[in-house]
Each structure stands twice: as structure tokens, then as C-alpha cells.
Structure 1
Amino acid sequence: MAFVEELRTGNFSLYGQWLALLSGLLLIVLGAVTFIAHIIFSILAIVFGVICIIIEVPLIMKLFPTGPTFDRFFGGLKNHWWRFIAYVVFAAVMWASLANGGGILAIGAVTVTMAAGCYLIAAVKKQSKVTTTWLGGTGVQSHYFDTRNAVPV
């Protein structure tokens, strides 16, 4: 399924995934850029960015064997509500960096806040968990089913 088709689905868990991936990349980059000026918030931004990417890329979980502790910690984040809570915490910390003069980290705070909002909407609407096929996820519809004729391919 093409990226534009995925965006047309109206599934906020998919929007949340894309925004969380963007947030993860931004947090890593911005954390590295501001490392000297804001060491603690930069380290937190990098850690949050890595966690966002681990949570949101299903292919990572398939490629690397994990232990029971890791599965307990990240396994609970498969639920929309838990992802919403995790991203709200990440966003709150990044917004708090502004009080310490972490100006550019606000970009990461905005994207994480938007990702949390998407997961909140998905949870409230009780939408099913959907992940993009671009990163090894389930996709919106099965690849083995032709929706034009409604017959298996």
C-alpha cells in the first residue's frame, strides 16, 4: 500500500506511528545537536527517540531476539492507551526542557505531543492497531486480498 493510501485510511494509530517515527528521528538529531548546551535533556531526548523507534518499527522486534524483561516492558506498549501515556510523558519532559532554555527541543516536544494525540484519538475511537507495511507492519489491508473484486488473490 502506498504512503498516500495509508494516510487516507483515517486510522489514527497509523498517523500516530508516522508521527512517533518522525519524533524519534527528530529527538535523536536534536538531542545530539544540543548535547553540549543541555546535557541532561539531550540525553533524555536521545533515549526517548530510540524508544520511539523501537516501539514503532515492528521489523526491529522481529530481527532482534529479546528477553522476558524487554518483552514485559515494551509488550505493554502495543495498546493505544499505553502508547498515549508513554508519549505524553516524553512530551512533558521535552516541554520541561524549555524552562531550562532547550529551545530547539520544542520541535521534538511538538511532534511527540501530536503522536500522543493521535494515539488518544485512536484509543477513544477504539480503532484497531495498524502499522505501516513500509516498516514490516500489518498494513491497513491484507496483501493477499484483492479489495476491488472482493475475492482472494
Structure 2
Amino acid sequence: MSIADEFRTRNFSIYGQWLGILAMILCLALGIANIFTFRPIIIVFCALAIASAFIILFTEVPLLLRICPTSPKFDSFIRKISTNYLRAAVYIIMAVVQFLSVLDVRTSLIAAGVFLSLAGLCYLFAAIRGQEFVNSKTLGGQGVAQMVV
């Protein structure tokens, strides 16, 4: 199944997963870019954005849990985020954290918050519609993760 075929399924969890990947890239890039503002509060939000990027990476690409050396505690935390409702909650919490960065000074971290919100809303729509969570095969979903021993 190609990416286009996955998008044609109209399963919002697929949309949420791909928006999550975009949000991860933005969190990492904007976290690194804004850390050089040398404002203590913004540095904290940048560190949280970078941490969010790694949480999203391991959540959305399940293959990485098998091939990267991580602690069992971290693995169990990531594996708990398996339903659409929990993923929506995690993304919305990360988005709120990024939106709180505006309290000090406006930065481009708002863009990360917007994409985190969109991903969270997609997962929420999937949960409300009763759609089953489906991993994209391109990102190491069904079949690919089982092949790695």
C-alpha cells in the first residue's frame, strides 16, 4: 500500500500520524533555532519542543523502539500511547505547552504548536468516529516492525 492509498482510506489516524511527523520536524528545527534567543524562558520551551520531537519520533515510528537502545521504562511509556484518544491527549498537551511560550515573547514555536494541534485533532476525530488506529506502513507499521527481530 502506497502513501496515496493510505490517504484514500480516510482514516484520520493516518492523517494524524503524518501531521505528527511534520510537527516532529518543526519541533526539532524550531527548538534548535529559537534556543539561540538566550531568553531563559524560551530556552525552556525550546528544550520541551526538542523533547517533544523525540517522543513523537518514537511514538509514530514503532520500528525505532526495536532498533534503538532505550530504557525499558521509556519503552513502556511510549507503548502506552497506543489509542487514538491517548495520542490526541498527548499531542494537545504538547501543543498547549508550545502555545504557552507566547507568554514571554512571540517566537516561531507557535508553528510547532499549530501542527501539534492539527495532529491531535486528527487523532481526536479518528477516536470520535470510532476508527481503529492504523500505523502507516511507510513509517514502519504493520508487517515492517514484525520483520525486525
Higher helix share: 2
Range into which the TM-score falls when normalised by the shorter chain: 0.7 to 0.9
Question: TM (normalized to structure 2)?
Answer: 0.87
What runs of 5+ residues in structure 2 fail to find an aligned partner? 144-149
1: CA distance, partners of 2:54 / 2:76: 18
Match 1:48 to one of 44, 49, 52: 52
For residues 1-153 of structure 1, the aligned pairs below 5 Å read 1-37=1-37, 38-64=42-68, 66-138=70-142
Relative to structure 1, is the Cα distance of residues 138 and 102 closer, same or farther in structure 2, using a 3 angstrom cutoff? farther
1: CA distance, partners of 2:74 / 2:109: 28
* Matched residue type, 2:11: N
Task: Name the SS for the 1:36 alignment partner.
Answer: helix
State the 1:58 CA deviation.
Answer: 1.3
After superposition, the CA RMSD in angstroms is 1.5
Greater RCO (Cα-Cα under 8 Å, separation 6 or more): 2
- Residue in 2 aligned with 1:150? none
What percent identity do the matched residue pairs reach?
Answer: 37
2: CA distance, partners of 1:72 / 1:54: 11
2: CA distance, partners of 1:76 / 1:102: 33
- Tell me how many residue pairs correspond in the alignment: 139
Which 4+ stretches in 1 moved above 3 angstroms? 65-68
